[in-house]
Amino acid sequence: MSRPPVVARTFPALRRALAELRRRDASVALVPTMGALHDGHLSLVRLAKRRADKVVVSVFVNPTQFAPHEDFGSYPRTFKTDAAKLAGESVDLIWNPDIKAMYPDGFASKILTEGPALAGLEDRFRPHFFGGVATVVGKLFNQCRPDVAIFGSKDFQQLRVVTRMAADLDMGVKVIGAPTVRERDGLAMSSRNVYLSAEERAVAPTLYRALKEVAKRIKAGKSIESSLAAGAELIAEAGFVLDYLEARHADTLAPIKSIKNGPIRLLVAAKLGKTRLIDNIAV
């Protein structure tokens, strides 16, 4: 058995732990999370272990990426279970700062992201979101100075935004995307799936099914527009309220009219009752 991870909650503890990890020039991977860990998060940890000598997982529910009406207060917080799961994956260090450490009184700076952050997807429905994400990820990169950082393709626009930011601001971190881990019925794993009632949970996989249906139609030569319309109908019939279902260029996230101009990524966000779910697949 390897040692349980060190848990750092203050900057001095983090600095000490990182100095210890970096002895003998070990490379470090960072996996940023908001906790409530599931197998999707653990797959990022496993990828991190293949890409670096030491693995740091941050667990921090970041208030600045939630709007006042969103679920910051009710977001699941399960630190003990999370720490046990990370111990099972032989993670080296858990960085679990408190809010005051991250955002001390007088905190007044923010990273402004454009390009993929203004693609008209998540940003259209959560205008505050990428400012909060970019700022906290930038802070985590500065605090931990990782060589690589792993992000899930589940949050596809976020992956593009963070990759762009790390390159644009010379953060010296290689951002690596990891595939989406799904439940057996296709639902993308998410910490927010616990909000779903039994009835909602039963229809939630429709989102993935609809994405696959749209991809199938586009690959069969149907127009992107009609394929998306068919997908939107499936999603609405299942009882979702759709925020968006779009076909975008997988690299730039620019709108795309033809499969010839691909690679295409299909992205969806929809509400089922009070729960907002997102998903995406390649065509």
Q: Residues within the annotated binding site?
A: 34-41, 65, 152-155, 158, 181, 189-192
**Two tokens at 280?**
């995406």
Q: Does the protein bind ligand AMP through residue 34 (CB under 6 A)? A: yes
Binding mask 130-169 for ligand AMP (x = CB under 6 A): ---------------------xx-xx--------------
- Kindly name the residue from 41, 69, 128, 249 that is annotated as catalytic: 41
Q: Does the protein bind ligand AMP through residue 217 (CB under 6 A)? A: no
Among residues 242, 281, 283, which one has the least CA distance to residue 262?
Answer: 283
Q: Kindly list the strands in the beta sheet with 275-282, ordered across the sheet, starting from the edge strand earlier in the chain.
A: 241-249, 264-272, 275-282
Q: Does the protein bind ligand AMP through residue 44 (CB under 6 A)? A: yes
Rg (CA), the chain: 19
69 is catalytic: no
Question: Any bridge partners for residue 9, and if so which?
Answer: none
Which CB, 71 or 147, lies closer to ligand AMP? 71
**Closest distance of CB 192 from ligand AMP, Å:** 8
Contact 267, 157 (CB under 8 A): yes
Q: What angle do CA 182, 185, 188 make, to 5 degrees?
A: 30
Query: 195: which DSSP letter?
Result: G
Which CB, 22 or 38, lies closer to ligand AMP? 38
Binding residues for (R)-pantoate: 65, 158
Of the candidate residues 17, 28, 42, 43, the single one contacting ligand AMP (CB under 6 A): 43
3-state percent helix, strand, coil for the chain, nearest multiple of 5: 45, 20, 35
Hey, which residues are catalytic here? 41
The site for ligand AMP (CB under 6 A) is made up of 33-34, 40-41, 43-44, 151-152, 154-155, 178, 180-181, 188-191
